[in-house]
Chains A and B, each alone.
Chain A
Amino acid sequence: MRKDWKLHIIVLFFVFIGEAIGVKQFNLGVGTVALFPMLYVLLMGGIVSFPKLKWMNEVQMKKAAGILGISFMLFVAKLGSMLGPSLPKIFEAGASLAVQEIGHVIGTIIIGLPIALLLGMKRESIGATFSIDREPNLAIISEKYGADSPEGRGALGVYICGTVFGAIYLALLAGFLGSLGIFHPISLAMGAGVGSGSMMAAASGALAVTFPNDADDIALFAAAANLITTILGTYICVFFSLPVTARLYEWLEPIIGRKSKEAEK
Chain B
Amino acid sequence: MLEKTKVLALIGFIAIVGNWVGYDVSPIVALPGIILIVLFTIIGLGLNTLIPKMPAVVWISLIALIATTPIFPGNEWIVEKTGKINFMALATPILAYAGLSLGKDLESFKKLGWRIVVVSLVVYTGTFLFATLFAEIVFKLQGRF
Q: How far is the CA of A211 from the CA of B68 in the complex (A)?
A: 25
For the complex of A and B, the 3 pairs showing the least CB-CB separation, nearest first, are A45-B99, A84-B68, A80-B64
5 further A-B contacts with Cβ under 8 Å, apart from A20-B21, A56-B103, are A64-B98, A124-B116, A162-B124, A194-B127, A197-B94
- Whether A186 pairs with B139 at a CB distance below 8 angstroms is yes
- Whether A103 pairs with B98 at a CB distance below 8 angstroms is no
- Whether A230 pairs with B57 at a CB distance below 8 angstroms is yes
Q: Which one of A25-33, A127-135, A138-146, A247-255 is at the B interface?
A: A127-135
Q: Is A79 an interface residue (CB 8 A)?
A: yes
- Whether A177 pairs with B132 at a CB distance below 8 angstroms is yes
- Whether B132 pairs with A100 at a CB distance below 8 angstroms is yes
- Whether A103 pairs with B112 at a CB distance below 8 angstroms is no
Contacts of A193 in B (CB 8 A): 131
**Given the contacts A1-B3, A14-B96, A80 and B65 also touching, CB distance less than 8 Å:** yes
Question: A162: which of B103, B115, B120 is its contact (CB, 8 Å)?
Answer: B120
Near B by CB (< 8 A), chain A positions 97-139 give: 97, 99-104, 106-112, 115-116, 119-121, 124-125, 128-129, 132-133
Query: Interface digits, A22-44 against B, CB 8 Å rule (1 contact, 0 not)?
Result: 10000000000000111101111
Range of interface residues on A (Cβ < 8 Å): 35 or more
Contacts of A167 in B (CB 8 A): 95, 98
- Whether A223 pairs with B93 at a CB distance below 8 angstroms is no
List 8 A–B pairs whose Cβ atoms lie within 8 Å, in order of A's numbering: A15-B18, A37-B92, A43-B99, A65-B98, A77-B41, A107-B127, A161-B112, A227-B57
Contacts of B60 in A (CB 8 A): 73, 76-77, 80
- Whether A100 pairs with B87 at a CB distance below 8 angstroms is no
- Whether A7 pairs with B104 at a CB distance below 8 angstroms is no
Q: How far is the CA of A177 from the CA of B129 in the complex (A)?
A: 9
Q: How far is the CA of A186 from the CA of B4 in the complex (A)?
A: 34
CB distance from A124 to the nearest CB of B (A): 7
- Whether B135 pairs with A161 at a CB distance below 8 angstroms is no
Question: A87: which of B69, B130, B142 is its contact (CB, 8 Å)?
Answer: B69
Q: How far is the CA of A36 from the CA of B23 in the complex (A)?
A: 13
Question: B94: which of A50, A68, A79 is its contact (CB, 8 Å)?
Answer: A68
Contacts of A128 in B (CB 8 A): 116, 119-120, 123
Q: Is A242 an interface residue (CB 8 A)?
A: no
A contact face: mostly helix, strand, loop, or mixed: helix
- Whether B87 pairs with A79 at a CB distance below 8 angstroms is yes
Question: B103: which of A15, A18, A46, A158 is its contact (CB, 8 Å)?
Answer: A46
Where the two chains meet, the residues of A that have a C-beta atom closer than 8 Å to any C-beta of B are: 1, 4, 7-8, 10-12, 14-16, 18-20, 22, 36-39, 41-46, 48-51, 56, 58, 60-62, 64-65, 67-68, 70-85, 87, 93, 95-97, 99-104, 106-112, 115-116, 119-121, 124-125, 128-129, 132-133, 154, 157-158, 160-164, 166-167, 169-170, 173-174, 177, 183-184, 186-188, 190-194, 197-199, 201-205, 208, 215-216, 219, 223, 225, 227, 230-231, 264-265
Which among B4, B37, B88, B111 has the greatest number of chain A C-beta atoms within 10 A? B88
Least CB separation from B111: chain A residue: A265
Q: How far is the CA of A80 from the CA of B62 in the complex (A)?
A: 7
Contacts of A1 in B (CB 8 A): 3, 6-7
- Whether B133 pairs with A103 at a CB distance below 8 angstroms is yes
Q: How far is the CA of A194 from the CA of B123 in the complex (A)?
A: 11
Near A by CB (< 8 A), chain B positions 121-145 give: 121-139, 142, 144-145
Contacts of A87 in B (CB 8 A): 65, 69
Q: How far is the CA of A17 from the CA of B135 in the complex (A)?
A: 36
Question: B61: which of A56, A76, A133 is its contact (CB, 8 Å)?
Answer: A76
Which among B57, B68, B107, B116 has the greatest number of chain A C-beta atoms within 10 A? B116
**Given the contacts A11-B93, A132-B124, A160-B109, A116 and B115 also touching, CB distance less than 8 Å:** yes
- Whether B111 pairs with A99 at a CB distance below 8 angstroms is no
